Structure 1
Amino acid sequence: MDHCISLILGGGKGTRLLPLTQYRSKPAVPIGGKYRLIDVPISNCIHSDLNRIYVLTQFNSISLHRHIRQTYNFDLFSNGFVEILAAQQTPGETDWYQGTADAVRKQMRFLKQPGLKHVLILSGDQLYRMDYRQMLNTHLKSNADVTISTIPVNAQDARGFGIMQLDDGGKVVDFVEKPQDDDALNKVRTPADWIDAHGVRAKGREYLASMGIYLFDRDLLVDLLESSDHDDFGKHIFPMAIKHHHVQTHLFDDYWEDIGTIKAFFECNLAMASSDAPFRFGDHKHPIFTRPRFLPSTRFDNCEVKGSLIADGCTIGPGSKIENSVIGMRTTIGSNVTIRNSAIMGADYYVHDHSAPGECIGIGDNVVIDGALVDKNVYIGNGARIVSADAPPGDGDYDSIAVSDGIAVVRKRSAIPDNWSFPK
């Protein structure tokens, strides 16, 4: 792995995750109570002995930069680093990043470092655990120019992904983006016995979906970027590589979720709160790292908690009930509060003077929150009620609350008055 660097793409606008991305980039979105999405690919790299990591950033990147700076510091003798490559204007470049491929092209000098043989391209907004050394092994054994990681999906799910068509040796010969009709699906179907023979149980999943994880030979990647003006890997560079080079597939069969929408983000959080969670941040061999904050233990006072994750530094008052929910750091919850099927992101700091107008953070007494997503640094007044199931149909904007995918999202730094109900 000494001849490989990792590039994590973290500069997109993340419009489908609004309002969570109104003030932060998508990789900086908190998840699981105390982590951020960017922690996932960086942790995977560290566990794979890939310690030279670049994160390409552009939109709403201040909190992402701060988190990376405060979290990932290697010792002086490891030669490892997590370095931010922010979009910038230079005498030779006056445009910002125009897409994923253009972002890498604008950082070409880092690709041309001596001794570099391979470049791993990763997304900053996916939830999974992978040892990239296995992918590199597939790449080297097949003598490939490019290797793409794929996951088997069924016919219904295949309509929402880019699907690979392979030859008998696993070489990618075609790529169809979100095939909708049966003819297009049949063209890219991979027989179950082929999938089974390559170490993954098909279980009715006969389509190999792109995970957006690419491993390139460095020289080829430089050539592809310098010989074209294409802006995107998935739409342009990767299909171009299929036509003229050996593109190999690497099969992956574990939990993987692309956090592209409010619904996907919300469901991931709630799934992690269950006793049979499909993904656990605290795997003893390969934990997901994040910033150590040295917060006090959470305090419970005669309350009831079922099937939930409670992060550090919280206070939960008497008579409160929390069920199937994620409670983020520094959350203050009053008495007789009911929180069900919800994700509360918590707070960035404690407020000591609650008498100051507009300075309160936390959840007051006798509040009901059901099926909602509450962003950071929010105050919810006594007796307030926020129930997603009662929201008007369709997406909408209601001042402090936005409805997306049927989920009520309380905006960051909002203040909900006492006895206020959503919907009104």
Structure 2
Amino acid sequence: MRGGPRVLGIVLAGGEGKRLSPLTQDRAKPAVPFGGNYRLIDFVLSNLVNGDIRQIAVLTQYKSHSLDRHITQTWRMSALLGNYVTPVPAQQRLGPRWYTGSADAIFQSLNLIYDERPDIVVVFGADHVYRMDPRQMIDQHLQTGAGVTIAGLRVPRRDATEFGVIDADAAGKVLGFLEKPADPPGLPDSPEESFASMGNYVFTTDALLEALRTDAADDSSVHDMGGSIMPMLADAGEAWVYDFSTNVVPGATERDHGYWRDVGTIDSYYDAHMDLVSVTPVFNLYNDRWPIYTLPPQLPPAKFVLGGRAEESMVSAGAIIGGGSVHTSVISPGARVERGARVEGSVVMDGVFIGEGAVVRRAILDKNAVVPAGARIGVDLDADRERYHVSAGGITVLGKGARALL
């Protein structure tokens, strides 16, 4: 950040994402496609880059090939200005072992901090869909003199049991950090709401280093940022909360202000896509004042022929709607919908083929999946459960490269 403190961004992108299976059977969770053109990693990287944080290390581990390739091909910053986004795989610098937790991932990568000598280290998660200006969080961090500032999302207390919960006083000082509490504490100004941790942290470098070293020496620790480091700094009186609802992003509308989605399950991933396709979207990808960056595919425009049509949908470059119909769906690059096929409320990824007369309803079709002519997906959930993965919310998933059965 020019004229301000030296800031290093670290993105934690080593998660396996088991709850998002089968979409994560062949790729890391942050590499899962989203919204037609994007990968989940693009959202956090866009927020950091738009916020003038342009020295960023992405810590990877699990099935990271497609993620590493996407970062190196897409996120090419100006070397002349000293900017970079670089994937950092697990290097086993401290012995022959992989990362044992998110805190251990940073501890094993302390060379990044020693090399850059930042004043501030911004540690963000890699698999959420949202817009955020991190500069405002950094400003609060500097004003309070905190060791760590934790981004907090206001959620109803009844829903907070699924999150790490921040117990803070009226000034924002953190009194405790609770992992999935049965009785979440309410907020001083809103007793029926709680602060859920977003997994985004701003550290003073010295505080981060001391906490990581203390944690590494504790054999009983799980070496996790939320489960280990945050409670430690909260108990030491060094943690403050940043209220995400106060974050102002250029170009945001009243409807999508404060939007944040954890897309860690098939149902939440599906719901986030449906947020994109309404006339007035709940999350607006078309905000050009705070763009979400990616590398668009080198493909011709989408084509609609033989009476093909799409309604309340997003259709990406290279897609051909050849006589079929698409309703309330996201169609990714290179997908094809043939004559008489009908796609309803679905997420169709790159290169998917949907044959003549096929029906796809409330489904997610992963990359290069094939739905042959006349096949039915999402029409009979009982039959689908015997053949495919069906989520708790009734979303049928056809895995990468899979072929639907007749």
Q: 1:221 aligns with which of 205, 208, 217?
A: 208
Give the one of 312, 330, 345 matched to 1:341: 345
* Aligned residue number for residue 371 of structure 1: 362
TM-score, L = length of structure 1: 0.87
TM-score (norm 2): 0.91
After superposition, the Cα gap between the structure-2 partners of 1:166 and 1:296, relative to the gap in structure 1 and judged at 3 Å, is same
Task: Write out aligned runs for 1:127-206 (5 A).
Answer: 127-180=129-182, 184-185=183-184, 188-192=185-189, 206=193
1:303 offset after TM fit, Å?
2.1
Greater Cα offset, 21-30 or 107-116: 107-116
Matched, 1:271 2:275: yes
CA distance in 2 between partners of 1:317 and 1:35 (Å): 24
Q: Number of residue pairs matched? A: 384
Of residues 28, 37, 43, the one that matches 2:31 is 28
Partner deviation per Cα, 1:238-297 (whole Å, 9 max, x = no partner) = 101101132111111200011110110011011111112111223110110001322100
Question: CA 1:397/1:21 → structure 2, altered by over 3 Å: closer, same or farther?
Answer: farther
* Matching of residue 392 in structure 1 with residue 382 in structure 2: yes
How far the C-alpha of 1:339 sits from its partner, in A, is 0.5
CA distance in 1, matches of 2:315, 2:385: 30
Is 1:241 matched up with 2:213?
no
| 1:211 aligns to 2:208 (yes or no) | no
CA RMSD in angstroms, aligned pairs only:
1.7
Residue 252 (structure 1) aligned to one of 228, 244, 253: 244
CA offset digits 1:7-56 (Å, max 9, x no partner): 11111111001000000000000000110000000000110000001100
Task: Give the superposition deviation at 1:114.
Answer: 5.2
2:37/2:296 contact within 8 Å kept: no
Q: Is the 8 A contact 1:149 1:214 kept in 2?
A: yes
Offset, 1:74: 1.4
Equivalent residue letter for 1:392:
D
How far apart, in 2, do the equivalents of 1:282 and 1:276 lie? 11
Counterpart code for 2:197: S
Give the C-alpha shift of residue 115 in structure 1: 3.8
Where 1:150 maps in the other structure, the secondary structure is strand
Match of 2:104 in 1: 102
CA 1:251/1:397 → structure 2, altered by over 3 Å: closer, same or farther?
Answer: farther
- Whole-angstrom distance in 2 between the partners of 1:397 and 1:219: 54
Equivalent of residue 399 in structure 2, options 385, 396, 411: 411
**Greater CA drift, 132-141 or 361-370:** 361-370
State the SS of the aligned residue for 1:33: coil
- Aligned ranges for residues 12-161 of structure 1 at < 5 Å? 12-90=15-93, 92-113=94-115, 115-161=117-163
Unmatched runs of 5 consecutive residues or more in structure 2: 246-257
CA contact (8 A) 1:343 1:373 kept: yes
Runs of 4+ with deviation above 4 angstroms:
none
* 1:313 alignment counterpart: 318
Distance 2:127 2:274 in 1: 17
Which residue matches 1:283?
287
Give the Cα separation in 1 of the matches to 2:192 and 2:200: 20
One-letter amino acid of the structure 1 residue matched with residue 198 of structure 2: M
Structure 2 letter corresponding to 1:310: V
Counterpart of 1:189 in structure 2: which amino acid?
A: G
CA distance in 1, matches of 2:371, 2:204: 52
Whether the 8 Å contact between 1:152 and 1:205 is mirrored in structure 2 is no
User: What is the rounded CA distance, in whole Å, between the counterparts of 2:112 and 2:203 in structure 1?
Assistant: 14
Distance 1:3 1:397 in 2: 55
Task: Check the 8 A contact 2:179/2:226 in 1, yes or no.
Answer: no
